[in-house]
Amino acid sequence: MTANKILSVTLGREKLELGTGYIDKLFLSGYAAPFDFGKLDFKYKALQYTFIYGNIRGDSLGTPLISKNIIAHRVDINFSEKFRLGIYESIIASNSPLSFTYLNPVSFLTMADFSAQQKDNSNSMIGLDCEIKPMKNLSAQFSLLIDDLNFKTISHNDPSGDDNKFGYQAGVMIYEPLNIANLTTSVEYTRLDPFVYSHRSNESTYTHWGVGLGHQLPPNSDEIALLLNYDFSSRLSGWLKYQFQRSGEGIILDANGKLIRNYGGDINRGDGDFAFTNTFLMGNRVNRNILTLHLHLEPVRQYYIDFEYSAHIINAMYLSTNYTDQYLYFTISTDF
């Protein structure tokens, strides 16, 4: 980092987050495992810029990939204390060596992708988000993710229109509602079109070790979520989260394993998106009610104990079946 803190360079392995979502993020959510990356940060007055080149892992229907990289950059502009705008762009490039075309931090990544002649093997995304703070204890955000964009087919109602896939998110956060100290509440709605984050060749899915780099909602789904965060003390905090999700799932194969129909609900299966016109929530309908309780304790400085309980009440509507999955996690960690 420079002495005036305008420029910093980071090399390391950790989870990364980019975006404005209050409960989950469309761009980089931090749920996937840590990965190796180089990161450049530039900040000057109302402008902030981030460039990332990271090495992630994956396969294509069980076939290991030689390489898989994420290249992303983001610009944030703080127009005032009450309004901020962010613009995001990323490329997932597989089975290609390190490209100096992508290393240009001020290039338009989609154009660099064409120059590198990797368009058919890569997965490009662009997006934007904005945040407003009309009151001291209230903020609201809207995020838009565009997973491939073809202006020629954007209004088509046939399979050619499947080139254009979108994710939307809107949320509100209230600090200390009803004057309850140390409490923060958030409400957020997210919708992902069929095949968002996936890729037709299954090589350049927006995943690391099969886990999505963005929002953890499956494609072809929407969700409304409520989160309560409370600090009991300086050493004990916790949160309670409720999510209601609707999804369209299903992949149909013939007797020889050949794909017949993919409804676009599996992030790791992007093949077959041009076979039919993709309609939101088409497929095997599943509803989920998810309740999660998390407690975070720091008994000794830099030593942490985390406890989490989660119950998933699942209604497989296409089977007229209901069932419940329960999960319990307990971890001990430390910072050095």
Q: Residue 297 pLDDT more than 60?
A: yes
Indicate the number of domains in the chain. 1
pLDDT digits (tens, 9 = 90+) for 85-118: 999 999 998 887 666 677 777 677 766 665 555 5
The domain spanning residue 315 has which CATH number?
Answer: 2.40.160.130
Residues 244, 247, 251: CA angle, nearest 5 degrees: 155
What is the spatial distance between Cα 162 and Cα 153, in angstroms, rounded to a whole number? 8
What is the spatial distance between Cα 169 and Cα 225, in angstroms, rounded to a whole number? 11
* Residue 105 belongs to a domain: yes
Q: Residue 307 pLDDT more than 80?
A: yes
What is the spatial distance between Cα 247 and Cα 250, in angstroms, rounded to a whole number? 10
Give the pLDDT confidence score for residue 239 in this predicted structure: 98
Percent of the chain residues past pLDDT 90, beyond the cut = 71
Q: Residue 5 pLDDT more than 80?
A: no
Which residues span the domain enclosing 233?
A: 7-334
| 73 and 52 Cβ atoms separated by less than 8 Å | yes
Band the pLDDT of 288: cuts 50, 70, 90.
very high
Give the pLDDT confidence score for residue 328 in this predicted structure: 97
Give the pLDDT confidence score for residue 121 in this predicted structure: 73
Residues 145, 110, 170: CA angle, nearest 5 degrees: 10
* Residue 262 belongs to a domain: yes
Give mean pLDDT, residues 242-264. 93
Q: Residue 161 pLDDT more than 60?
A: no
Give the pLDDT confidence score for residue 155 in this predicted structure: 61
Band the pLDDT of 67: cuts 50, 70, 90.
confident
Residue 186 CB-half CA count within 13 A:
21
Q: Which residues contact 254 (CB under 8 A, 6 or more apart)?
A: 260
Give the pLDDT confidence score for residue 112 in this predicted structure: 65
Give the pLDDT confidence score for residue 111 in this predicted structure: 64
Nearest of 174, 109, 153, 190 to residue 278 by alpha carbon: 153
DSSP string for residues in 24-63: S-SSB-S-SPPEEEEEEEEEETTEEEEEEEEE---EETTE
* Residue 2 belongs to a domain: no
Q: Which DSSP symbol is given to 282?
A: -
Give the pLDDT confidence score for residue 160 in this predicted structure: 60
Q: Which residues contact 37 (CB under 8 A, 6 or more apart)?
A: 10, 11, 12, 13, 16, 52, 53, 54, 55, 70
Q: E strand or H helix at 109, and its extent?
A: helix 109-115
* Residue 1 belongs to a domain: no
User: How many other CB atoms are found less than 10 A from the CB of residue 73?
Assistant: 21
Higher pLDDT, 258 or 144: 144
Nearest of 98, 86, 23 to residue 54 by alpha carbon: 98
| 304 and 298 Cβ atoms separated by less than 8 Å | yes
Q: What is the value of pTM for the model shown?
A: 0.91
Q: Give the mean pLDDT of the chain.
A: 90
